[in-house]
Amino acid sequence: MYKVLITDPLSEQGIYQLLEAEDVEVKRKPGLTGEELFSAIETADALLVRSQTKVTAELIEKASRLKVIARAGVGVDNIDVPAATKKGIIVVNAPDGNTISTAEHTFAMLIALARNIPQAYRSVISGEWNRKNFVGVELNQKTLSIIGLGRIGTELAKRAKAFRMNVVAFDPYLSDERAAKIGVKKATFEEAIAAGDFITVHTPLTKETRHLINKETFSLMKDGVRILNCARGGIIDEEALYDAIQSGKVAGAALDVFENEPPGEHPLFSLPQVIATPHLGASTLEAQENVAVDVCEEVLHILRGEPFKNAVNLPSIPAELQQKLAPYQELAEKLGKFISQVASGALTKITVTYSGEVAELEVAPLTRTILKGVLSHHLTDVNYVNAPHLAKQRGIQVVEQKTANTHGFTQLIKVEVVTATDIRSVAGTLLNGFGSRITKIDDYPVDVTPQGHLVFVQHRDQPGAIGRVGTLLGSHDINIATMQVGRQAIGGQAIMVLRIDKPLPQSLIASLQELKEIQSLIEIDL
């Protein structure tokens, strides 16, 4: 009999399948803390929480039988995931349960923003009747630009099309086929920003998306644009938004999330063009039930040894296999991260080729690791378990193959990606005593240590090109740790890969790109 401990309030309907399971005993003890919680966890096989219970390393250490920690929601900030992973406990969440709820809330905010509904309500209940002060705009034939076409963005697009809006979408994984199937116009980020009468963001908050909407991007937008954020606080630079509204560039903004929550006396609240809600995207009865249902299903699958998909940490691998794969794990993830930052355009296919000694192993965990590396450049909710699911969801074909051709190496892993505009590849190996090495980029042989800050430059092979790059870096106090160059023919196409001690400032990147020999420059963070 499996014992499941629930320490936060969860929907009765959501946990119904747990209550009905013959092989499960459910103990509901919301609000349990301190020694009582420590005592209760000792005999639990599964722990279900929302955001109130803090699942600390100390609590996890007390759990002698615990197999799974389930969060009825998306975020796992209240769970010490590394501590759970170290002890072999699977952590799962419910990333899909609030999709409809958040999409509907965003659309409600869209309509409210277009018709000034909250402002008009405040006016009416204060005794006024100023119809002319709240003239809005129709959604019909307006353009909605969606930045991030994942689950929520896709549902939002369906609703916007029902209101006869023109929908333009940017997503780094959006293929032409998927755009056509959804019925949206695929665009670059700049094109989407410039086209929208309304712009809504639905991306994770990552290093790349923090302040994605900023002073520069506001300058690319239409005058009178309206902005929405019901995704994550921090995607929009709130100071820049304030200035854009004050200047008249932005006609209004609807915000459900903020960089700091609660936001307190925020400057944006002084502007009548701004409407706001207190992070209500997932706050519906149905969403709360759905996330409970989702995690309960996952808990039952895990306890019964059945397949599951929403783990946020590494699932268990047989110890013998784990020992053999361990040396390749870092190389695999670094290859994935490298190629994802080099390739441009929507991914359509990833081919992983294993050669030599590594090809003799069960390499599925390594393929998942590579997928995690590729997808994590744009997604925050990707992990070793759900990476294949996320790739399939985005229409990305994943091919795993083995070959005897090692190109002179004892073992070799090659990752090739096909995008809508490009085909790029990277290969790597393990050098005895030296660790991971990138041995080939596209058709150029190299010897690169995949760690730290890298600069990947494609250029024309001309005398002085390398020196001019080095001189510019030196003038900005950027130290070069290593440099690798490769070419195919004298005076033809060439590459250089620099490992540097710190990221390049934007001014230096601009100066490097102005050099006549430089064709492209990509800064890579490994």
Q: What is the CATH number of the domain that holds 230?
A: 3.40.50.720
Which of 21-35, 139-153, 267-281 is predicted with the least confidence, judged by mean pLDDT? 21-35
Residue 382 has pLDDT above 90, yes or no: no
Whether 18 and 299 have beta carbons less than 8 Å apart is answered as yes
Same domain membership, residue 425 and residue 398: yes
The dihedral formed by the CA atoms of 216, 158, 184 and 350, expressed in degrees to the nearest 10:
90
Same domain membership, residue 474 and residue 406: no
Contacts of 90 (CB under 8 A, 6+ apart): 67, 68, 69, 84, 302, 308, 311, 313, 315, 316
- Once rounded to an integer, what is the mean pLDDT over residues 118-125? 97
The pLDDT assigned to 257 comes to 95
Same domain membership, residue 78 and residue 120: no
Q: How many Å apart are CA 526 and CA 505, to the nearest integer?
A: 17
232 among known catalytic residues: yes
CATH (domain of 511) = 3.30.70.260
- Once rounded to an integer, what is the mean pLDDT over residues 409-423? 92
The one-letter amino acid code at 329 reads: Q
The pLDDT assigned to 55 comes to 96
Do the domain assignments include residue 346?
Answer: yes
Residue 406 has pLDDT above 80, yes or no: no
Residue ranges making up the domain that contains 365:
318-451
Same domain membership, residue 26 and residue 9: yes
Confidence class of residue 315 from pLDDT cuts 50, 70 and 90? low
* Strand-strand pairing, 46-49 and 2-6: parallel
**Which one of the listed residues 266, 279, 407, 468 is annotated catalytic?**
279
Residue 316 has pLDDT above 60, yes or no: no
**Which one of the listed residues 50, 232, 459, 499 is annotated catalytic?**
232
**Which one of the listed residues 42, 58, 261, 362 is annotated catalytic?**
261
Do the domain assignments include residue 281?
Answer: no
437 among known catalytic residues: no
Predicted TM-score (pTM) of the model is: 0.74
> How many structural domains comprise the chain?
4
Same domain membership, residue 396 and residue 410: yes
pLDDT tens, residue by residue, 16-65: 888 889 999 999 999 898 999 999 999 999 999 988 899 999 999 999 99
Report the mean per-residue pLDDT for the chain. 92
Residues shown for the chain: 526
Q: How many Å apart are CA 271 and CA 275, to the nearest integer?
A: 9
Do the domain assignments include residue 310?
Answer: no
